[in-house]
Amino acid sequence: MNKNFLLILLFIITAAVCILSLTLGAVKIPLAQIFNFNSVNDEAIRKVLLDIRIPRLLNTIIVGASLSCSGMILQSLLRNNLAEPGLLGISAGAGLGAILMFLLPAAVPFYYITPVSFVFAILSTLIIYVSARISTNKYSNFISTNKIILIGIAISALLASVNGLLLILAGQSVNQILFWLNGGLAGRGWNEFTMTSIPVFIGILSAFFFSKELNILNLGDELAISLGLNLKKIQIVSILLSALLAACAVSIAGIISFVGLIIPNIAKLMIGNDYRYSLPASVFLGIIFLSISDVIARVIIAPAELPVGIITSFLGAPVFIWLIMKNKTI
């Protein structure tokens, strides 16, 4: 199938899923009222759309696109199809920031959690990068990807243990913390979207701009250097872009599993390893997957809802097993 046609098809499916997600929830809204919003006279429906559904959908788009694009960049950088944003300590770092906010003695407005968890996510990534840089020969032009992976695993484990200790000490806040850690889009509104939309747009646009370099990077360090690629620069840019995108996603929705892991692999199976096509395909698929998961999360036990991270894990785990069985290179 023609790759451009496939991207157009994915865009159409993404748009359709997003529009349908606006109609579903504890309150069902007819599709006709979505397309004729200005003629809707019911103030309750207008309020549901403007204050809940539309900002929630926009945050879903931000999170799905960010996690899938971040995962694709990391898998190229580390040449490992099992790489995902949590490998850089982003999830654990953001979790630590959020837990500390929940544990403050005074009640903290929910929207403060987003910027604080973002800062902690970026800091954890910088710690991993600096540690890998220090442990590398100072005359080397690049950092060993194995060192990034191993130090990332170690830092993530350390932060996870700290988070576990804080959970034990959390007292009455433990339920709020657990709900956030399981990943969710409930209550996310215009504030979260406005804080993260510009960084995410810049991050994804930059990733598309560097798609040619990502293709060369996928050939291996030595061959990439022989082709004239500034490997050190690309490593730094790739890590920063991946961290920026994943930190934005985690700061909005908490820890959501499998989006940054399985979606890039599905995109590459569908459209190939050329990042000029697989990156946008991954973004579309990430939005589709998370939008469907979010709809399931809010209708399956309506009017209550589940954390969307539970749904992505439930759907993602069998898909990941299938990918491993199908693709011998994973």
3-class secondary-structure state, position 91: helix
Please, which residues have CB within 8 angstroms of residue 214's CB and are 6 or more apart in sequence? 73, 76, 77, 207, 234, 238, 275, 279
Position 107 confidence tier, pLDDT thresholds 50, 70, 90: low
User: How high is the pLDDT of residue 182?
Assistant: 80
Position 106 confidence tier, pLDDT thresholds 50, 70, 90: low
User: How high is the pLDDT of residue 287?
Assistant: 96
- Rounded to the nearest 5 degrees, what angle is found at the Cα of 269, between the Cα atoms of 264 and 271? 90
User: How high is the pLDDT of residue 88?
Assistant: 73
pLDDT mean across residues, the chain: 84
pLDDT tens-digit series, residues 164-215: 888 888 777 777 777 777 888 888 888 889 988 999 999 999 999 988 888 8
Strands (E), the chain: none
Considering its fold, how many domains does the chain have in total?
1
Which of 261, 216, 270, 211 is CA-nearest to residue 241?
Answer: 211
User: How high is the pLDDT of residue 141?
Assistant: 60
CA distance 156 to 27: 40
pLDDT tens-digit series, residues 234-250: 888 888 888 888 888 88
| Full residue range of the structural domain in which residue 237 is found | 3-326
Which of 230, 214, 191 is CA-nearest to residue 70?
Answer: 214
User: How high is the pLDDT of residue 79?
Assistant: 80
User: How high is the pLDDT of residue 142?
Assistant: 64
CA distance 72 to 275: 9
User: How high is the pLDDT of residue 9?
Assistant: 95
- Rounded to the nearest 5 degrees, what angle is found at the Cα of 117, between the Cα atoms of 116 and 118? 90
CA distance 45 to 52: 10
Instruction: Assign residue 82 the CATH number of its domain.
Output: 1.10.3470.10
C-beta separation of 124 from 299 below 8 A? no
